[in-house]
């Protein structure tokens, strides 16, 4: 049976490809989901792809992942910069966590330079566009094999 990976997306990422393509690119979140699922089937990872604009929903999915997933890929979006609750939830998860940002948060406003989640993440990918999700999948694959 394939190992399960949760790909969790935070607030407003449902608008990917619909608004601000100059910042976040032309692909929709459904496009990114398909790419993750397709890559997952090549490398034997079963993808559960999720998005919510509600902090508590994201915390609940991280708790579910404790029983259900070998790894978590998370783009916490704006909650990266504010959420101790998401950090605390990730700290209860034993497997690898890769944090993804589509844009390079370090090239943007100063308030985006700090992410609470980064202190738990095993890897952080920023500024690689939506390709960052594919890179994160490959990294999770490597980490769960070793
Ligand atoms: O670069 C990223 O992936 C971010 O996590 C995206 C967040 C932002 O708050 C972070 O600082 C960096 C924003 C997500 C909003 O997504 C939108 C997508 C399309 C149109 C409008 C918003």
> Would you call 24 a catalytic residue per the annotation?
yes
Confidence (pLDDT) at 50: 98
Beta carbons within 10 angstroms of residue 2's beta carbon: 12
Please tell me the predicted confidence (pLDDT) of residue 20.
81
pLDDT for the residue 121: 98
Would strands 3-9 and 45-51 be described as parallel, antiparallel, or unpaired?
A: parallel
Task: Please say if 101 is a catalytic residue.
Answer: yes
For residue range 46-81, list pLDDT tens digits in order: 999 999 999 999 999 999 999 999 999 999 999 999
CB-based burial label for 17 (10 Å; 0-12, 13-18, 19+): middle
Listed in sequence order, the residues at least 6 apart from 99 whose beta carbon sits closer than 8 Å to its beta carbon are 74, 75, 76, 80, 115, 117, 118, 121, 123, 124, 125
126 closest CA partner among 39, 47, 117: 117
Residue 1 to residue 57: CA distance in whole angstroms: 27
Extract the residue ranges of the chain whose pLDDT is less than 70.
1
Q: Which atom of ligand 1 is nearest to the CA of 10?
A: 14
Residues with CB under 6 Å of ligand 1 are: 12-13, 15-16, 19-20, 24, 75, 77-78, 80, 101-103, 105, 112
In 10-116, DSSP assigns E strands to 45-51, 71-75, 97-101
Q: Catalytic residue among 101, 106, 113, 114, which? A: 101
Residue nearest to atom 2 of ligand 1 (CA): 101
Distance from Cα 12 to the centre of ligand 1, integer Å: 7
Structural domains in the chain?
4-145 (3.40.50.9100)
Measured distance CA(117)–CA(123) in Å, rounded: 10
């Amino acid at each position: 049976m394939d190992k399960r990976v949760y790909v969790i997306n935070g607030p407003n990422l449902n608008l990917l490809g619909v608004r601000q393509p100059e910042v976040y690119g032309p692909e929709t979140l459904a496009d990114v989901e398909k790419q993750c699922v397709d890559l997952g089937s090549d490398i034997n990872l079963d993808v559960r792809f999720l998005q919510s604009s509600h902090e508590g929903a994201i915390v609940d999915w991280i708790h579910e992942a404790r029983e259900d997933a070998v790894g978590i890929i998370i783009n916490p979006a704006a909650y990266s910069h504010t959420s101790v609750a998401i950090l605390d939830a990730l700290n209860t998860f034993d497997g690898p966590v890769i944090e993804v940002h589509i844009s390079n948060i370090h090239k943007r406003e100063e308030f985006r330079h700090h992410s609470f989640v980064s202190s738990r993440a095993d890897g952080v990918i920023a500024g690689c566009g939506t390709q960052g999700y594919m890179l994160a999948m490959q990294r999770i694959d490597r980490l769960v094999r070793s």
